Chains A and B, each alone.
Chain A
Amino acid sequence: MDNGKTFWLPEKASTFTSIVDPAFDLYLWISVFFFGLIVILITVFTFKYLRRRPDQLATAQITHNLTLELSWTIIPLIIVMALFFVGMKGFLHMRVAPSGYMQVNVKGQKWSWSFEYPAGAVNDTLVVPVNTPVKLAMTSRDVIHSFYIPAFRAKADVLPNRWNAIWFQATRTGVFPVECTQYCGTNHSYMWTAVKVVEPEVYQEWLANASDPGKGKTPEQFGALLYQKRGCNACHSIDGSKGVGPSWKGLYGRQETTNVGMVMVDEAYLKESMMVPTAKIVTGFQPVMPVFQGVLSEREIAALMAYIKSLK
């Protein structure tokens, strides 16, 4: 597959390539023109006016020519001003993230990168969905580093005590290298990682897994962890003692008296109590439980149910 690599520029994988690459190519041809012009003139003059006889010392009396000199003052001035505007326009676009971006926090330290996602996932490579604006808010734990993705034409220094940001929008899936470009000591040249650009569905799945602290645990073990982490333990005991809510000990399979009648505690009831806690209130308790609709994932709900079931 054509990855867009040219003689001068690396493979293309972000929207910035359509800003940086045309400006680079435009300037390349301007340079080739002026360099060619100078070299040709010097070569022609040198050979045409080479001193072929030692006595051939007299030269034309030319000291200056105002029209010529003004022209090679003003023409370069116009060209560089045009280049300034081209550069500024692209640069401002590259510095200001569009609305609706997704943010990832980046931390640099000697000699590794870590990426922190809003859902709590922390990873050592950057995984992002394709065709989505991503903003990186970056800081360093020690010295200055610089975060550079050549294929994206994106770069910014990463400083301690300060947050620098870049954004980008990847245009195709793949794995692209990330390099540190600010000298940071012994292993500066080993401070590499990768950005993995994937389809949005794959990203969501990855994020769910990466955000999942229950990975590698049985549902019961994961449920026990969530019992602590989600604060269930504040109201529900596991030893049968009465708290703000009913104890979970021996809860599963029990008959409970509620404000709407007798209820058999099964999966359906447990899930309903987490999602809509006020649906059925056990007699003797207040309707104070927070709603977990949208907070707990299906996997987490299942894990909690497995945990409750295990508390005989």
Chain B
Amino acid sequence: MIAHVHDNINYLKTKKGIMSWLVTVDHKRIGMMYLASILLFFITGGTFAFLFRLELWSPLKDFLTPDQYNQFFTLHGVIMVFLVVVPGIPAALGNFIVPIQIGAKDLAFPKLNLTSLYLYWIGAAVALWSIVAGHADQGWTMYAPYSLSQNPAVLWMMVAAFILGFSSILTGLNFIVTMHTMRAPGMTWYRMPLFLWAMYATGIMQIFATPVLAITLILLLMENFFGIGIFDPALGGDPLLMQHFFWFYSHPAVYIIVVPGFGITSELIAAFAKKDIFGYRFVAYSSVAIAIIGFIVWGHHMFVAGQSELADTIFSFLTFFTAVPSAIKVFNWTATLYKGSIDLKTPMLYALQFLWNFTIGGLTGIILAILSVDIHLHDTYFIVSHFHYVAMGSTMIAFIGGIHYWWPKMTGKMYNESVGKLASIIVFVGFNVTFFVQLIMGSLGSPRRYYHYWDQFQIYHQISTVGVFILAIGLFTALINLIVSLWTGATAPANPWGAKTLEWQTDSPPPLYNFTETPVVTHGPYAFETEKA
């Protein structure tokens, strides 16, 4: 059969030309377009961070005005949160890997998948246009009434968040339906790789949290066009209500950001320790537990905002429960290394630095849940550092580790291993130099979003700025190494790492429909060779 011959051609070569990409419904090509877009926005958002960290070299003006500084941190925050870390791993790697890991030909709704990519592009364009054209500087948190004074920029920002939210919902829905209906024969729930459990938990959060953005947008429109006081105190509205709405979405969004990173880390540690993940079920359930608890802790962002003491106390109590599944995961990953056969390849170096960074990110999160201490630390550099340890040090590091891990599968090329390892070490050093001092500076009382700061904090700012230089060198080394491999890299074998999950049982890159024959699963995802007992 002709179709059969076609099946063996890899997905990159089935059709040629730009249109073959723009109208494709192949999950792999959509994943690659997402990956390219997200990396582009990561570089853009990073450039703004680089520029305002340079400005912070001295306490007074270096080369930006206060308004430019404020716009730069707004652009950095909006791009990194809404265009990079929230969609990041699910949209890029999830799209590519999820169907292959369960042994399916594609996602359940391929056209919906392409729609989500277009919504992402439209949402990104609206978000950037609204900030740049509106000279908006309200930060990614958009607190009323300050943000309302910047209308229509904040209204358009909400429209953008709404469109991007829809893109997220479609991705989450697609993953959940795919996992329920399209698993290969023998692929039971407990034979699913942990990356899939993480994608499932993320999907639940995307579907249930994101609609709140739409409600907020409708309320903002009603306030703006009909003068109904909802958030604006000048109209008799309550600005705290906007914070509740914002965090009701944005707190689960924090877990939408980090849970996919957990999934990747599980895959990397299993593959490079050649061992079954210790306590597979505990790790799988803890992702789901975090997804559920994540919905009822949003008030911990408002401990100094003027909530009642009762609300503060309840939110603090609930928040501490998120620490437990996070601790379980870290201990389980550590235990997996015990008596393994550890190979320190580039992806594994990222997995290990994920453990380092996430332990710091998690521990610094717990202290912020301690009510009395949070009063002091709230809105200082301490919180800035904490969420960068999670969003950048954990999620982005896992993302970059995942890109290295699946790069041979996605492109069919091997990158230079030595350069990859070197870059990963530079990134580790750069990241920690940049952000660890911010913990100290914050607990000493330096507020966030300060253009002008006291002289006593200059040394901390300068160390942090030096760290950004190191981090940038590491990230560009990694990126160039990957891009160069497209031309000069050796051809990748089907399974360069000796991993056991299904994506490694097909060609690199995979054919259009992923497998030439439907795979039959007879064992768990990490059934490595074991010693005779």
B-contacting residues of A (Cβ < 8 Å)? 5, 7-10, 16, 19-20, 23-24, 27, 31, 34-35, 38-39, 41-42, 45-46, 49-51, 56-65, 68-69, 72-73, 76-77, 80-81, 83-84, 86-96, 142-144, 146, 148, 150-151, 153-157, 159-162, 164, 177, 179-190
Contact = CB atoms under 8 A, between A and B. Distances in A.
Nearest to B322: A80
Interface string B127-156: 000000000011101010110010000000
The 9 closest A-B pairs by CB, nearest first: A150-B445, A90-B372, A91-B371, A87-B370, A60-B339, A45-B337, A189-B450, A181-B379, A61-B530
Contact of A181 (B274, B316, B360, B447): B447
Given A73-B324, A153-B375, A64 B448 contact: no
Nearest to B332: A69
A205 to B, nearest CB: 30
Interface residues of B, number: 91
Interface stretch (B7-15, B83-91, B341-349): B341-349
B376 A61 contact: no
Contacts of A154: 375
30 contacts: A9-B443, A20-B373, A27-B366, A41-B334, A41-B337, A49-B337, A59-B339, A59-B529, A59-B530, A63-B280, A65-B279, A69-B332, A72-B328, A72-B331, A83-B370, A87-B373, A88-B316, A89-B372, A90-B372, A95-B309, A144-B239, A154-B375, A155-B304, A155-B378, A155-B379, A180-B447, A183-B70, A183-B141, A185-B146, A188-B70
A88 B371 contact: yes
B146 A186 contact: no
Given A35-B360, A59-B340, A73 B328 contact: yes
B453 A45 contact: no
B503 interface: no
B143 A182 contact: yes
Interface centre among A87, A180, A186 (most CB of B within 10 A): A87
Nearest to B528: A59
A72 B367 contact: no
A188 B449 contact: yes
A91 B332 contact: no
Nearest to A156: B304
Interface of B: 66-67, 70, 137-139, 141, 143, 145-146, 149, 233-234, 236, 238-240, 273-276, 278-282, 304-306, 309, 312-313, 316-317, 320-321, 323-324, 327-328, 330-332, 334-335, 337-344, 352, 355-356, 359-360, 363-364, 366-367, 369-376, 378-380, 440, 443-445, 447-454, 498, 528-531, 533
B452 A42 contact: no
A158 to B, nearest CB: 9
Given A57-B274, A58-B341, A64 B306 contact: no
Given A23-B373, A35-B359, A64-B278, A59 B341 contact: yes
Contacts of B274: 51, 57-59
A154 B445 CA distance: 11
B530 A31 contact: no
A155 to B, nearest CB: 5
Given A73-B328, A157-B304, A183-B141, 8 more contacts: A24-B443, A27-B366, A50-B343, A60-B338, A73-B282, A88-B313, A144-B146, A183-B448
A87 B369 contact: yes
B172 to A, nearest CB: 28
A61 B309 contact: no
A56 B274 CA distance: 10
Nearest to B59: A189
Contacts of B360: 35
Nearest to A72: B331
B312 to A, nearest CB: 7
B159 to A, nearest CB: 22
B378 A34 contact: no
Given A72-B331, A88-B316, A34 B363 contact: yes
Nearest to A91: B371
Contacts of B528: 57-59
B376 A62 contact: no
Contact of B355 (A9, A42, A63): A42
Given A9-B443, A38-B355, A49-B339, A189 B449 contact: yes
Contacts of A95: 309
Contacts of B309: 91-92, 95-96
Given A46-B352, A144-B146, A157 B306 contact: yes
A61 B372 contact: no
A148 B149 contact: no
A131 B239 CA distance: 35
Nearest to B73: A183
Given A60-B530, A159-B240, A76 B324 contact: yes
B236 to A, nearest CB: 8
Contacts of A84: 316-317, 320, 369-370
A88 B344 CA distance: 44
Contact of A61 (B331, B332, B533): B533
A113 B424 CA distance: 47
A38 to B, nearest CB: 5
A41 B334 CA distance: 7
A186 B64 CA distance: 12
A49 B305 contact: no
A180 B274 CA distance: 52
B145 A181 contact: no
B70 A185 contact: yes
Of the listed residues B280, B360, B372, the one surrounded by the most CB atoms of chain A closer than 10 A to its CB is: B372
B375 A155 contact: yes
A72 B335 CA distance: 11
B341 A57 contact: yes
B327 A76 contact: yes
Contact of B281 (A27, A64, A185): A64
Contacts of A42: 334, 337, 352, 355-356
B157 to A, nearest CB: 15
A55 B320 CA distance: 45
Contacts of B233: 159-162
Contacts of B234: 160
Contacts of B450: 188-189
A49 B273 contact: yes
B145 A20 contact: no
A72 B273 CA distance: 22
Nearest to B533: A61
Contact of A63 (B278, B324, B359, B445): B278
Contacts of B70: 183, 185-186, 188
A145 to B, nearest CB: 10
Among A41, A91, A154, residue most surrounded by chain B Cβ atoms (within 10 Å) = A91
Nearest to A24: B373
A19 B376 CA distance: 11
A163 B363 CA distance: 33
Nearest to B498: A57
